[in-house]
Amino acid sequence: SPDADSRRVVLLGATGSIGRSTVEIINGANGAFSVAAVAGGSDAKALAAVAIELGAEFAALADPSGYADLKAALSGTAIEAAAGPEAVIEAALRPADIVVGAIAGAAGVAPTFAALAAGRIIALANKECLVCAGPAFMRQAAASGTRLLPVDSEHNAIFQAMGDAELSSVEMITLTASGGPFRTWSVEAIAAATPEQALAHPNWSMGPKVTIDSAGLMNKGLEVIEAHYLFGIETARLDVLVHAQSVVHGLVAFSDGSVSAGLAAPDMKVPIAHCLSHPRRLVTKARRLDLAAIGQLTFERPDFNRFPALRVALDALRAGRGLPTVLNAANEIAVEAFLKRRISFHEIAKIVEQACEAALSDGVAREPETIDEALAIDFAVRERTRARLPGTAAAS
């Protein structure tokens, strides 16, 4: 049985890449954690397996058609099964000390926000929550008297490097980007890249959506937006550096000229462990950093010409008026279309940019004050972006 002072965890997105790494941390922590609930998207068997492995009390599958499979896979256990979007919210609301938000995409907004509104500490991997609805999330965290701890490696490094410094003493926050598989490729080669090439990330093994985002540096754009809301810092004090080794994940430059950097091997178990036990430290088997073996750390400016998605994302953040919400929704549709080979790689950034322009000109763009407003914009932009994809009847 778990230790008396063990932490109760809810794991949203338990079957994914961050979910699996979280399971490894929990299993290696000698009873420091117990699991109240797990939630997943559509793979009933995988969700049942992780629920059993963690000894969870409740397993929720978002896809209602998977209920029978989930129930069957959990038969003979004491684990309660449920399916549908409301079941995922129910999982998010099970009593817990910390909720790991590791759903991919805006599908995570409603359950993660529900946990936040219930006063839970959130270990947030699901950056799309903040890109889609940053102001509502940050306002709710303050109102609930709780906090969002960043799992995203750059934000986690920055959070640690910041210490208890006053925001006014921070001159610049820098997020590093590995540059992805196309870091040295020509414009033409990137434009024609296949899903297989875009999915072959040199440093990180991640879910498909974030891997495609990383290949075009859209991921870094989403992360700058995430940092803007999370740290409450204006766009002019946020910077991006390409750093191929993925050893320095983030830097904080202070007003006296000092710079603190967050370093770790590129292993998501490091920031996950940090968030799960914050402010204490776990002992983990996460990969250790061997600087002598790495030898050299290199840094370069991002190339907006070869990676237009980064520019499109930064423009959306500067424009405000809900454009981050629009950007996120259009990007999810474009990435899905690219993975289905309906569009080429360079069309992702174009489709997203067009969605932002359209939203500005027709009044869809406005700063969402609430989660419902953010999700309404998200829904409208998805519909419209889908309808305009090449090969769609309604496309003009």
Number of residues in contact with Mg ion, rule: CB under 5 A? 3
C-beta separation of 128 from 218 below 8 A: no
Q: Which stretch binds ligand NAD (CB under 6 A): 12-20, 113-121, 193-201, 388-396?
A: 12-20
CB 10 within 8 A of CB 91: yes
Q: Using the rule CB under 6 A, which residue among 25, 36, 96, 104 binds ligand NAD?
A: 104
Name which position in 152, 213, 226, 353 contacts Mg ion (CB under 5 A): 152
Q: Which is nearer to Mg ion, 41 or 271 (CB)?
A: 271
Q: What is the DSSP track for 183-207?
A: TT--HHHHHT--HHHHH--SS----
Relative orientation angle of helices 323-339 and 128-144, to the nearest 10 degrees: 140
State the DSSP code for 174.
E
User: Which of 23, 70, 88, 93 lies at the binding interface for ligand NAD (CB under 6 A)?
Assistant: 88
CB atoms within 10 A of CB 204: 16
Distances (CA, A) of 279 to 160, 274, 283: 10, 8, 13
Nearest-approach distance from CB 286 to ligand NAD, in angstroms: 13
Residue 391 counted as an annotated binding residue: no
Residue 223 assigned ligand-binding role: yes
| Closest separation in Å from C-beta 203 to Mg ion | 11
Cis check: omega of the bond before 279, within 30 degrees of 0: yes
Nearer to ligand NAD, 88 or 286 (CB): 88
The nearer residue to ligand NAD, 128 or 353, going by C-beta atoms, is 128
With left for phi above 0 and alpha for psi between -120 and 50, is residue 16 left, alpha or beta?
Answer: beta
Among 8, 120, 127, 228, binds ligand NAD (CB under 6 A): 127
103 binds, among ligand NAD, Mg ion, none (CB under 5 to 8 A by kind): ligand NAD
State which residue, 18 or 96, has the beta carbon closest to Mg ion. 18
Q: What are phi and psi of 342, to 5 degrees?
A: -85, -25
Nearest alpha carbon to residue 74 among 96, 55, 54, 52: 52
Interstrand relation of 80-83 and 98-101 (parallel, antiparallel or unpaired):
unpaired
* Nearest residue to 260 (alpha-carbon basis) of 269, 251, 247: 251
Interface with ligand NAD by CB under 6 A: which range of 14-22, 332-340, 348-356, 368-376?
14-22
Decide if residue 22 touches ligand NAD (CB under 6 A). no
Partner from Mg ion, ligand NAD, none contacting 327, C-beta within 5 to 8 A by type: none
Using CB under 6 A as the binding rule, whether residue 19 contacts ligand NAD is answered as yes
Q: CB of 32 within 8 A of CB of 282?
A: yes
Q: Which residues are annotated as a binding site for NADPH?
A: 15-18, 41, 126, 128, 207
Residues flagged as binding site for 1-deoxy-D-xylulose 5-phosphate: 127, 153-154, 178, 201, 214, 219-220, 223
- Residues of this chain that interact with ligand NAD (CB under 6 A) are 13-19, 39-41, 43, 62, 88, 102-104, 107, 125-128, 152, 204, 206-207, 210, 268
Residues that bind Mg ion (CB under 5 A): 152-154
